Amino acid sequence: MSKPFILRPGALTLDDLRALMAGGTVALDPGAWPGVDAAAETVRAIAAEGKSVYGINTGFGSLARTSIPAADIEELQRRLVLSHSVGTGPLLSDAVVRLVLLLKINALARGHSGVRRRVIEAFLALLNNGVYPCVPAKGSVGASGDLAPLAHLAAVLLGADEARVDGQVVPASEGLERAGLEPLALGPKEGLALLNGTQVSTALAAAGLFAIENVFAAALVAGAMSVDATLGSDDPFDVRVQAVRGQPGQVAVAETLRGLLAGSAIRASHLTCDRVQDPYSLRCQPQVMGAARDLIDFAAGAIEREANAVSDNPLVFADTGEILSGGNFHAEPVAFAADVLALALAEVGALSERRVALITDTAMSGLPAFLVAEPGLNSGFMAAEISAAALASENKALAHPSSIDSLPTTANQEDHVSMATHAARRLSEMAENAATIVAIELLAAAQGIEFHRPLETSAPLLKALRAICARSPALDIDRALAPDINAMKALILDGWFADLLAY
């Protein structure tokens, strides 16, 4: 067995999340336990004093002024978890639930939540034994934390609800047995610490980010292939053009496009042609894709920071013995990050769709109509371009910002919320749509490049062309293209084109 990943609370990177989303075991750095124990002891001492502190011996939300007798504190925490298990909709994937568990462990282990070490150990046991709580995707407004989905996560520790093991849904009791656990009796504040937090929104945003990065890489390759397929120019990618504007994403994208096209015999064949300028979908790739890259980089930073955040409430500061109420559960940073990712992704797909339209239009591309011999008898890529247009339009609607929406909840105590969970959740659907658009462009561009034989494209694009043709033979006569499109979409989302850009 491979060695476990050693989790140092507050030090997770996006690369860590990518790797652990796929699998592997986790062990907590022993240096974290003293802080965890100190915070738990602070909570225990305050509970023993009988001093009224939110989340320890009070009600919740608008019931915060209701005092709870000491004898009912354990039951208070249990009922909190059960009462908030009101999620709905399809279950989150095992990969996303793995991330949620990891992020929750990371937050609790920073020593400001006041939970006992056995709570963290229980989550580690679930993660390491492949016991994934069944977490419905819908029902959170992103403040006060991801209450409903995190309640379903926590309920399994109590022996309630259900879990998924080896792809099968089983009772929580069976999942606990698989992990070597007994149902947990919660101590003071522990139920609230488990429910409060932005871990579901953040996990969904991270999963969306990783898919978007793969789509973005594929779109750069597709864009370069489309330049060659349509006998476009690489002059707009000249380093001097980018330098006088100075936008970092634009500079980086232009550099990538220059590298992808370097050495293309197709490009060399028309250096002295009379075309003055290419359409924007070719010429302005550095400007559009560069701006998208800048947004993706911004969002990645916000998501990485939130992955390491302590976002429950109230927070325990054991060094002074204080418990402070705040608002770290408000997921506005995640909502903003998800919204800008959605905007960037919608534009990546929109630009790719325009290139598909360009390549298939014989008047614009100079290629056979719809990229097929005997157009009329054959429809070629006509319907594929329509599918790309439909998905681009759908992503425009999905890109509407979620963060600007808010509905007050809990008798107006929680009167402004982030809607981060939905903002992040829609990213995976948008990434699927955009991956499909780019898949269609890759197929169309490959078909276009083949029409220029015996001239060949550049070495990096030739590698891409071979990977495409291995999954989708040239379209000589009409056939169903859906299997080809799905094969290319899988290649995109698996990160093959992101690996290609590491040349």
* Dihedral pair phi/psi, residue 60, rounded to 5°: -125, 155
Q: How many CB atoms lie within 10 A of CB 118?
A: 14
Choosing from 54, 132, 280, 503, the catalytic residue is 54
Q: What is the DSSP letter of 189?
A: T
Q: Name the nearest CA neighbour of 146 among 329, 384, 405, 379.
A: 329
Write out the DSSP string of 452-474. Answer: TTTS---HHHHHHHHHHHHHS--
415's tokens: 């009167």
- With left for phi above 0 and alpha for psi between -120 and 50, is residue 170 left, alpha or beta? beta
Write out the DSSP string of 313-342. Answer: SSEEETTTTEEE---TT--HHHHHHHHHHH
**Cα 225 from Cα 87, distance rounded (Å):** 45
88's tokens: 């709905």
231's tokens: 């006998």
Burial of 318-334, coded b for 16+ CB within 10 Å and e otherwise, reads beeeebeeeebbbbbbb
Q: What is the DSSP letter of 3?
A: P
CB 438 within 8 A of CB 252: no
Does residue 206 sit in helix, strand or coil? helix
**Cα 376 from Cα 390, distance rounded (Å):** 23
**Cα 278 from Cα 208, distance rounded (Å):** 33
Query: What amino acid occupies position 171?
Result: P
54 is a catalytic site residue:
yes
Per DSSP, the chain holds a count of helices (H) and strands (E) of 21, 9
Distance set, CA 170 to CA 131, 164, 175 (Å) = 10, 6, 7
**Cα 161 from Cα 436, distance rounded (Å):** 36
* Dihedral pair phi/psi, residue 113, rounded to 5°: -105, -20
**Cα 261 from Cα 275, distance rounded (Å):** 18
Please identify every residue annotated as catalytic: 54
